[in-house]
Amino acid sequence: MPPTLREVRYVLRANGFTLARVRKHETWVRTNQVGEVDAKTRLSKGNAEIKSNRLFKAILEQAKKDEEEFRRKLHG
């Protein structure tokens, strides 16, 4: 079952992402030591559940994470 957006935000923060912009969607970025954008992903605003595994996989791909790593970070 896909996680909620709140859970995705928690894991993004734990992996060094910061909220860069909020409009209709949120843009989360992670920068490298030089200050260049290393990874970027967008999320809907709110705390709804992600309805499809396909969308969840796309978020993970953009964040350069796999599902196992995501679950491990989420559950400690």
Q: Residue 69's domain is classified under what CATH number? A: 3.30.920.30
pLDDT in the model for residue 60: 94
pLDDT in the model for residue 56: 93
pLDDT in the model for residue 40: 95
Q: pLDDT by residue (tens digit) across 5-63?
A: 999 999 999 999 999 999 889 999 999 999 999 999 999 887 777 888 999 999 999 99
Residue 63, domain extent: 5-74
The tally of domains found in the chain comes to 1
70 class by beta-carbon count within 10 Å (0-12 exposed, 13-18 middle, 19+ buried): buried
pLDDT in the model for residue 47: 75
pLDDT in the model for residue 8: 94
In this prediction the pTM is 0.86
CA 31 to chain centre: 14
